[in-house]
């Protein structure tokens, strides 16, 4: 019989988190209204999970030897920074360079915390809004031209970016964004806040205006307030997910969901943050090619669905119990979290918000109850 281990997990209380979403999901008290941003499930040294074995608490790594993926609950109350993550070669080279330079792991300027790539996916548990992937150059160009036409000050400031776009140099366009002086950055935010769209604009939608004005209010000295003009805006509904390959520029804006990625904490930031921004390194690893993520939707009534991914580093599945017993094989060490209802497995009851670890096994195990369960694996998914 496969033993299932209940997880005890750690939280990240970043200021963009929510005081409500994670506490309500886990039925936790939050009397001081702390911002709960993430709960990590896995073996990453940044916040490893713990299990009980033989009457003592041990790190999950002692059971697994280390998982290649990291599973998270994510609660976004304020927009996260615009960011990008490295592929394998970039992560190895970047990590080795910073190790050789003796940059401490806790140094705010450190970009590479480990030598691992970071592909990731986000699966919505509530409506979830994000920006991800560059739009087509022509579309970006038309939006910037329209914005320039609404303000003389913006027209002069945005001219180098427009020129780079006209020459079909996306890297040059992004580099120009980072060349603004502090006073020019203030002008950009001020002008965006002052412009009142007439509604007749063809190339900037109301949603883009709303986001730019929100960013301009939150980050007055950040040229990335322009990002809604060059990044795709997506809104996911519950059980919908998108996959973001390494090197894809993106930002999570609002909502509650599950994030699954390689076991890595490598982040290069590109704006909308007071944290360190390494422009040179970001431009070195970001993929500037147009990219619109595919939205994957789990069928509402399907008892089992595995989100199709182009990699085998990790996989995410959703299982829905209707009261009958469901038997599964585990071909790869898995982490599960109950998002609705409760399930019984091996005599233990797991309620909404509770998570557990299932070691690799050649045998079957049984779930029973009315529930929705999300499972993360490496390589292969759970198979019925």
* Average pLDDT of the segment spanning 344-353: 93
- Provide the pLDDT for residue 362: 60
For residue range 273-313, what is the model confidence (pLDDT) as tens digits?
888 899 999 999 999 999 999 999 999 888 999 999 999 89
Q: Give the SS3 label for residue 364.
A: strand
Strands 315-322 and 304-306: antiparallel
Degrees, nearest 5: CA angle 38-295-208: 80
The CATH number of domain 307-377, selected from 1.10.260.40, 1.10.645.10, 2.60.120.10, 3.40.50.850: 2.60.120.10
- Provide the pLDDT for residue 336: 95
Within the chain, all domains assigned CATH 2.60.120.10 are found at: 5-132+235-279+286-297, 307-377
Q: Mean of the per-residue pLDDT values for the chain?
A: 92
Q: Which residues carry out catalysis?
A: 269
For residue range 140-156, what is the model confidence (pLDDT) as tens digits?
999 999 999 999 999 99
* Average pLDDT of the segment spanning 166-181: 89
For residue range 249-273, what is the model confidence (pLDDT) as tens digits?
999 999 999 999 999 999 999 999 8
CATH of span 5-132+235-279+286-297: 2.60.120.10
Maximum Cα interatomic distance, the chain, rounded to a whole number of Å = 72
- Provide the pLDDT for residue 383: 44
User: Residues of the chain with pLDDT > 70: what percent?
Assistant: 97
- For the chain, helix (H) and strand (E) counts, in that order, are 9, 21
Given pLDDT bands bounded at 50, 70 and 90, which one contains residue 379? low
């Amino acid at each position: 019989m496969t033993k299932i281990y209940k997880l005890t997990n750690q939280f990240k209380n970043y200021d963009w988190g929510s005081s409500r979403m994670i506490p309500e999901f886990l039925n936790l008290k939050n009397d001081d209204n702390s911002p709960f941003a993430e709960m990590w499930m896995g073996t990453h040294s940044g916040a490893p999970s713990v299990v009980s074995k033989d009457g003592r608490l041990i790190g999950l790594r002692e059971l697994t030897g280390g998982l290649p993926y990291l599973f998270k609950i994510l609660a976004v109350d304020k927009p996260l920074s615009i960011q990008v993550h490295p592929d394998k070669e970039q992560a190895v080279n970047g990590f080795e360079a910073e190790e050789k330079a003796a940059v401490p792991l806790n140094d705010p300027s450190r970009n590479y915390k480990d030598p691992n790539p970071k592909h990731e996916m986000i699966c919505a548990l509530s409506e979830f809004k994000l920006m991800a992937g560059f739009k087509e150059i022509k579309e970006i160009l038309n939006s910037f031209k329209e914005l320039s036409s609404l303000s003389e000050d913006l027209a002069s400031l945005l001219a180098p970016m427009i020129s780079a776009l006209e020459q079909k140099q996306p890297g040059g366009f992004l580099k120009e964004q980072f060349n603004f002086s502090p006073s020019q950055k203030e002008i950009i935010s001020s002008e965006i806040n002052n412009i009142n769209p007439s509604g007749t604009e063809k190339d900037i939608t109301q949603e883009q205006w709303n986001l730019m004005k929100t960013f301009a209010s939150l980050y007055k000295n950040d040229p990335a307030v322009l990002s809604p003009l060059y990044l795709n805006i997506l809104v996911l509904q519950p059980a919908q997910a998108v996959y973001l390959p390494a090197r894809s520029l993106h930002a999570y804006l609002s909502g509650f969901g599950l994030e699954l990625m390689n076991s890595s904490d490598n982040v290069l930031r590109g704006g909308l943050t007071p944290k360190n921004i390494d422009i040179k390194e970001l431009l070195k690893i970001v993929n500037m090619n147009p990219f619109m993520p595919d939205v994957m939707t789990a069928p509402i009534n399907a008892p089992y669905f595995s989100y199709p991914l182009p990699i085998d580093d990790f996989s995410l599945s959703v299982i829905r119990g209707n009261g009958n017993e469901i038997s599964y094989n585990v071909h790869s060490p898995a982490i599960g979290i109950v998002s609705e209802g409760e399930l019984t497995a091996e005599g233990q009851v797991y309620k909404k918000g509770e998570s557990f670890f299932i070691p690799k096994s050649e045998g079957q195990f049984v779930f029973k109850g009315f529930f929705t369960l999300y499972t993360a694996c490496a390589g292969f998914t759970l198979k019925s």
